[in-house]
Chains A and B, each alone.
Chain A
């Protein structure tokens, strides 16, 4: 059931939500979060479809924020949907005029009480998501640097420099199956890695993150080499006993190689956006491993890493990196909290 509201405001939208829910017979929704999707008119259909698919696993109130032209009079049009398809509620908020600069004034009153807020920019994201007025409302800020049209590597580096706890990027999420396989490979062949390489197409933020992650964990040089793609095509870790390698030339089926064992095929499909988001929403606390990885990404690019509170130290107190005399390598900082 959809309700259209034109030239409206947040409190009218809230009443429409309540009315729609009553009309649907006040079903039990068990919504666990508010999911804000910031998009433009062109991309909103796909983005919201992915968001709805995710609300199957994480029932949520989806607020689609669509910014139109900033010219003309300030105006808010809204579309409220309750009770068709997956559980939860969906509101599309189309903003124009001066209102495009103050979207948080509409979103704030519509957040679910007490529940976490997650924000996702499917396309262009603010330079500093945590300082964005909308981003500041959220505990979890999801960007996607692979969706940036040009200069992805630079954009990723920018996100890394402006990292704040709660930030995450789908380029990182895409790596999970790769990382799981690599970890499984070293479970099976536990040898000291001496060096490694990550091969991917030229502009691939995931590959850069992979190289950074491997560097922090293994503390050996990891080379980033170019290939034709799609995505990451192989990761090779050299050990004294031979190479551990996962290669995926076609973006679908990978080959898993460890010394002293036969090569085996492994399905390693590139996942769709809804699957990535579902993984992202499973945990809403700070992703410490991502934090270490983006710091390393900055170091590898010769930049100063972002200053953030690090994870709880062993004694349980929060240590401010900024309070230290000089920035240290995250890989050494890791040692203490590892076991």
Chain B
């Protein structure tokens, strides 16, 4: 669907003029759950950084909604502190002045009719005083169980209706449900009030530069595409490992677990981007179409007992510190069967990927913090060298490092200097700008800007979400029957059954 685009008639704009940044039209954002960690550490700093880079429209307004007895000034102070502590770019008084006049705070809880009618008035007042022109995004930075309440209130107080020429959008964070059924319910709730194209599901992973670089790497180059298929690829490993435990997120994490928290969204999206065919163009619709095709052709292993693994960390030494086990974390019930490590094997039934397994794993309290996509190639079919010469030669691999050290590693064999012919693996490294990181925008900046511009290429839509649950649901059901997950010592690379799972296929996990 195309929106009315005033830019196309603006004589000052020209497609050739690529210096001019995309500035969102007049608008404001309302954050529900503004006192939360995400809001203070990510959203507020991202708003400031956008303003500092000159990408927010003049008059941009930020409304906070929470159960606190605050006035606008108190709220402004909270934002001020959050920005000073967490913003990526330097604090500048004039940027603060530009922003701070647009801060409003509405106290109340989600069942409070008075608060929502006050919110309604506040938004209208902003339209008059700040020229936000009726364009507002509602950012639901709240636990999903409150979604129906808030969405219902937005509808009841006609906050979701947009006037002609103006827009109302809603932004929701993962998890998008905890299984297929709840995801469908959630979608039904939201789509009853907001049209499909006004719903933005944020997966901050997809805002990362490196993830977008997967597309550049694959489709802008001639070098990789010819070997990006079952003829040359042996298997693919997608890993997201965290060295931290669940910390203070017990309430959220217990009952959710590693697979729902990360595999359902981040890892399946990474897999889709790695495996998809070339989209006809890079607009939202074509990208989504290709991703959906991949998700639709995913095949689960028949024997879930042999090809999936889950685990739970027990106390141990991680990185030189003694850390608690999952069951000893605050507020975790002793009977909890939530997994903190999950590994699954999937296949993609397409000509390109027939017979190539994709191994996805995620865990907390693993060896180190790392996210990567490793494409591991088949061995050369014939080696004209003696066996001793190639004893130490492994499989070639192309590794896309997503975080923390963003870049690409290529692993291949090279001769060891000396008179004997001996071949050993070497790494060739591309650092995605050794220090690009410093100037490259945070994922949330990109995503918030996309919401305000109404450009959703990086946001998964409900079909993708539902397809992902379709893949995961039977595995989760199977695991639920098993009871307690296998233990692994904190600071290691997961439970032994994860290694056995790969050993069955004659493979090993990379140590990332």
Q: Which residues of A contact B (CB under 8 A)?
A: 27-30, 56-59, 86-87, 173, 176-177, 179-184, 186-188, 190, 193, 214, 217-219, 252-253, 256, 258, 261-262, 264-269, 278-279, 283, 287-289, 311, 334, 337-339
Assembly CA distance A253 to B98 (angstroms): 8
Q: How far is the CB of B205 from chain A (nearest CB, A)?
A: 23
Beta-carbon nearest neighbor of A251 in chain B: B94
Q: Which of A59, A187, A288 contacts B7 (CB 8 A)?
A: A187
* Inter-subunit contact B11/A87 (CB<8 Å): no
Assembly CA distance A180 to B350 (angstroms): 46
Q: Which of B20, B25, B26 contacts A180 (CB 8 A)?
A: B20
Closest 5 CB pairs of A and B: A87-B434, A261-B131, A28-B429, A256-B58, A267-B94
Interface string of B3-27 (1 = CB under 8 A from A): 0001111111110111111010110
* Inter-subunit contact B11/A217 (CB<8 Å): yes
11 contacts between A and B (CB under 8 A): A30-B434, A57-B436, A187-B13, A188-B133, A256-B58, A262-B128, A264-B98, A267-B54, A267-B92, A267-B94, A338-B14
Assembly CA distance A331 to B8 (angstroms): 17
Assembly CA distance A214 to B12 (angstroms): 8
Q: Which of B8, B9, B95, B430 contacts A30 (CB 8 A)?
A: B430
| CB proximity to A under 8 Å, residues B11-66 | 11-14, 16-21, 23, 25-26, 51-52, 54, 57-59
Q: How far is the CB of B100 from chain A (nearest CB, A)?
A: 10
Beta-carbon nearest neighbor of A219 in chain B: B11
* Inter-subunit contact A265/B10 (CB<8 Å): no
* Inter-subunit contact A28/B431 (CB<8 Å): yes
Assembly CA distance A29 to B435 (angstroms): 10
Q: How far is the CB of B60 from chain A (nearest CB, A)?
A: 9
* Inter-subunit contact A279/B19 (CB<8 Å): yes
* Inter-subunit contact A187/B6 (CB<8 Å): yes
Q: Let me know if B391 is at the binding interface, CB within 8 A.
A: no
Q: Which of B20, B128, B434, B435 contacts A28 (CB 8 A)?
A: B434
Q: Let me know if B433 is at the binding interface, CB within 8 A.
A: yes
The size class of the interface chain B forms with chain A is 35 or more
* Inter-subunit contact A289/B434 (CB<8 Å): no
* Inter-subunit contact B16/A337 (CB<8 Å): yes
Beta-carbon nearest neighbor of B128 in chain A: A262
Interface string of B76-101 (1 = CB under 8 A from A): 00000000000000001011011001
List chain A residues, Cβ under 8 A from B10: 183, 186-187, 190
Given contacts A181-B23, A265-B58, A268-B54, 7 further A-B contacts (CB under 8 A): A56-B436, A219-B11, A279-B19, A283-B18, A283-B19, A338-B14, A339-B8
List chain A residues, Cβ under 8 A from B97: 253, 265, 267
Beta-carbon nearest neighbor of A255 in chain B: B58
List chain A residues, Cβ under 8 A from B429: 28
Q: Let me know if B129 is at the binding interface, CB within 8 A.
A: yes
List chain A residues, Cβ under 8 A from B26: 188, 261
Q: Let me know if B130 is at the binding interface, CB within 8 A.
A: yes
* Inter-subunit contact B25/A28 (CB<8 Å): no
* Inter-subunit contact B434/A59 (CB<8 Å): yes
Q: Let me know if B438 is at the binding interface, CB within 8 A.
A: yes
List chain A residues, Cβ under 8 A from B439: 56-57, 278
Q: How far is the CB of A313 from chain B (nearest CB, A)?
A: 13
Assembly CA distance A173 to B7 (angstroms): 22
* Inter-subunit contact B14/A289 (CB<8 Å): yes
List chain A residues, Cβ under 8 A from B433: 30, 57-59, 87
Assembly CA distance A100 to B52 (angstroms): 43
Q: Which residues of B contact A (CB under 8 A)?
A: 6-14, 16-21, 23, 25-26, 51-52, 54, 57-59, 92, 94-95, 97-98, 101, 128-131, 133, 407, 429-436, 438-439
Assembly CA distance A121 to B11 (angstroms): 33
* Inter-subunit contact A188/B25 (CB<8 Å): yes
* Inter-subunit contact A177/B435 (CB<8 Å): no
* Inter-subunit contact B9/A56 (CB<8 Å): no
Beta-carbon nearest neighbor of A54 in chain B: B439
Assembly CA distance A120 to B407 (angstroms): 29
Using A57-B436, A264-B59 as known contacts, say yes or no to A186 and B19 having CB atoms under 8 A apart. Answer: no
Q: How far is the CB of A66 from chain B (nearest CB, A)?
A: 26
Using A186-B12, A217-B12, A261-B131 as known contacts, say yes or no to A180 and B6 having CB atoms under 8 A apart. Answer: no
* Inter-subunit contact B9/A183 (CB<8 Å): no
List chain B residues, Cβ under 8 A from A28: 407, 429-431, 434
Assembly CA distance A279 to B17 (angstroms): 13
* Inter-subunit contact A262/B25 (CB<8 Å): no
Q: How far is the CB of A327 from chain B (nearest CB, A)?
A: 20
List chain A residues, Cβ under 8 A from B95: 267
Assembly CA distance A298 to B52 (angstroms): 35
Q: How far is the CB of A184 from chain B (nearest CB, A)?
A: 5
Assembly CA distance A265 to B18 (angstroms): 25
* Inter-subunit contact A180/B94 (CB<8 Å): no
* Inter-subunit contact B92/A269 (CB<8 Å): yes
Q: How far is the CB of B437 from chain A (nearest CB, A)?
A: 9
List chain A residues, Cβ under 8 A from B6: 187-188, 190
List chain A residues, Cβ under 8 A from B18: 283
Using A56-B435, A87-B434, A187-B25 as known contacts, say yes or no to A266 and B58 having CB atoms under 8 A apart. Answer: yes
Q: Which of B19, B94, B101 contacts A252 (CB 8 A)?
A: B94
Assembly CA distance A30 to B428 (angstroms): 11
Q: How far is the CB of B20 from chain A (nearest CB, A)?
A: 5
Beta-carbon nearest neighbor of B439 in chain A: A57
Q: How far is the CB of A51 from chain B (nearest CB, A)?
A: 14
List chain B residues, Cβ under 8 A from A258: 131
Q: How far is the CB of B412 from chain A (nearest CB, A)?
A: 15
* Inter-subunit contact B16/A262 (CB<8 Å): no
Q: How far is the CB of B48 from chain A (nearest CB, A)?
A: 11
* Inter-subunit contact A262/B59 (CB<8 Å): yes
* Inter-subunit contact A180/B131 (CB<8 Å): no
Assembly CA distance A279 to B21 (angstroms): 11
Assembly CA distance A264 to B27 (angstroms): 13
* Inter-subunit contact B11/A267 (CB<8 Å): no
Using A180-B20, A253-B94, A289-B16 as known contacts, say yes or no to A264 and B434 having CB atoms under 8 A apart. Answer: no
Q: How far is the CB of A133 from chain B (nearest CB, A)?
A: 29
Beta-carbon nearest neighbor of B56 in chain A: A266
Assembly CA distance A218 to B13 (angstroms): 11
List chain B residues, Cβ under 8 A from A30: 407, 430-434
